């Protein structure tokens, strides 16, 4: 049996699965890989920290990632992976294809990613046939951790939060708005930094302001993405990503309100991808 390396990467983290080389399948988490935010050399440097060069040479590599939706970026990543691992069979696909294959397998469905960023598309059981444009963390990413995190930070900075949430925010993140602005505008990976503010939402469920932020953000995602697909009323909707998993109760309620059939909700599509590539 061929040895296989599967990677499922978002902007914040990458989940790796290696089989056929070690006695037992090997799993690893690393930082996210995004060719729009990192140079090929930066990606190779990250690989060197986690995978000793020459130790792992899988027969096949299947890499799925945020920012890997165009032929240009796929070719860029394929070149890096081929050079580093010495593997000839390398396939690079988008994170949306990962969600589709990992959540739906060979069944039809609408798939949605809600993690640090967001994305969606209709999957016909073989390929993603239609998707809404992804405008990235500055303009788009509705329903994502980045999107919700911006609201949390604004509510704190503009003194919209009540005393309870203000105190909770300051305990988690401090009070230095200048330092926060510096992270956003001067440091790399502003989307990751903004997404961390969703921790306030996770830890303060039940507070009406927290619930409003979650519901407003997810409503924007549903209305600007999910409800734009005619297929949403014909096939189940599948959700993956940390935000989708944390707020799965709200997603289930919104699907019920809009009379959509909810499929699975999972933190990661990796287990489904492993099954897909071993079937």
Close Cβ partners of 20 (under 8 Å, ≥ 6 residues apart): 1, 2, 3, 4, 58, 59
Distances (CA, A) of 241 to 37, 49, 96, 152: 20, 25, 11, 19
- Judge if 94 and 119 occupy the same domain: no
- Judge if 193 and 228 occupy the same domain: no
In terms of Cβ atoms closer than 10 Å to its own Cβ (0-12, 13-18, 19+), residue 231 is middle
- Judge if 94 and 75 occupy the same domain: yes
CA angle (109 as vertex; 10, 279 as ends), nearest 5: 75
Give the whole-angstrom CA distance, residue 110 versus residue 232. 6
Q: Look at residue 23 and tell me whether its pLDDT is greater than 80.
A: no
Q: Is the pTM of this model over 0.95?
A: no
Q: Residues 104-129: pLDDT tens digits? A: 989 999 999 999 889 999 999 999 98
Per the structure, the count of domains in the chain is 3
Rounded average pLDDT over 239-247: 95
- Judge if 132 and 28 occupy the same domain: no
In terms of Cβ atoms closer than 10 Å to its own Cβ (0-12, 13-18, 19+), residue 120 is buried
Close Cβ partners of 99 (under 8 Å, ≥ 6 residues apart): 111, 112, 113, 119, 238, 240, 269
Q: Residues 166-225: pLDDT tens digits? A: 999 999 999 999 999 999 999 988 988 999 999 999 999 999 999 999 999 999 999 999
In terms of Cβ atoms closer than 10 Å to its own Cβ (0-12, 13-18, 19+), residue 125 is middle
- Judge if 36 and 81 occupy the same domain: yes
Q: How would residue 1 be classed by pLDDT, with cut points 50, 70 and 90?
A: low
Percentage above 70 pLDDT, the chain = 98
In terms of Cβ atoms closer than 10 Å to its own Cβ (0-12, 13-18, 19+), residue 31 is middle
Cβ atoms of 272 and 101 closer than 8 Å = yes
- Judge if 94 and 8 occupy the same domain: yes
Q: Residues 127-153: pLDDT tens digits? A: 998 777 776 677 778 999 999 999 999
Quote the domain boundaries for residue 175. 144-214
Q: Residues 43-66: pLDDT tens digits? A: 999 888 887 776 778 899 999 988
* Helical spans, DSSP H, in 18-131: 40-50, 71-85, 95-104
Domain with residue 261: its CATH number is 3.30.420.40
Report the SS3 class of residue 21.
Answer: coil
β-bridge pairing 237-240 and 128-131: unpaired
- Judge if 117 and 93 occupy the same domain: no
């Amino acid at each position: 049996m061929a040895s296989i390396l599967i990677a499922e990467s978002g902007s914040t983290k990458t989940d790796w699965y290696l089989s056929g080389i070690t006695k037992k399948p090997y799993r690893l988490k690393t930082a996210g890989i995004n060719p729009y935010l990192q140079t090929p050399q930066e990606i190779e440097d990250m690989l060197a920290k986690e995978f000793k060069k020459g130790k792992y040479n899988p027969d096949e590599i299947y890499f799925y990632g945020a920012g890997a939706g165009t032929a240009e970026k796929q070719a860029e990543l394929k070149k890096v992976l081929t050079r580093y691992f010495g593997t000839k069979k390398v396939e690079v696909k988008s994170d949306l294809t990962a969600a589709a294959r990992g959540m739906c397998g060979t069944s039809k469905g609408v798939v949605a990613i809600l993690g640090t960023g967001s994305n969606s598309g209709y999957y016909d059981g073989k390929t993603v046939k239609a998707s809404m444009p992804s405008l990235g963390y500055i303009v788009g990413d509705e329903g994502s951790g980045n999107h919700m995190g911006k609201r949390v930070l604004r509510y704190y900075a503009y003194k919209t939060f009540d005393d309870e949430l203000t105190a909770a925010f300051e305990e988690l993140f401090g009070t230095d708005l200048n330092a926060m602005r510096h992270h956003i505008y001067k440091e790399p990976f502003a989307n990751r930094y903004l997404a961390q503010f969703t921790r306030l939402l996770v830890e303060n469920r039940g507070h009406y302001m927290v619930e409003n932020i979650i519901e407003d953000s997810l409503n924007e995602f549903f209305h600007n993405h999910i409800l734009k697909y005619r297929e949403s009323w014909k096939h189940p909707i599948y959700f993956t990503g940390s935000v989708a998993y944390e707020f799965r109760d709200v997603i289930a309620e919104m699907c019920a309100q809009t009379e959509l059939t909810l499929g699975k909700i999972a933190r990661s599509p990796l287990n489904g991808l492993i099954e897909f590539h071993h079937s």
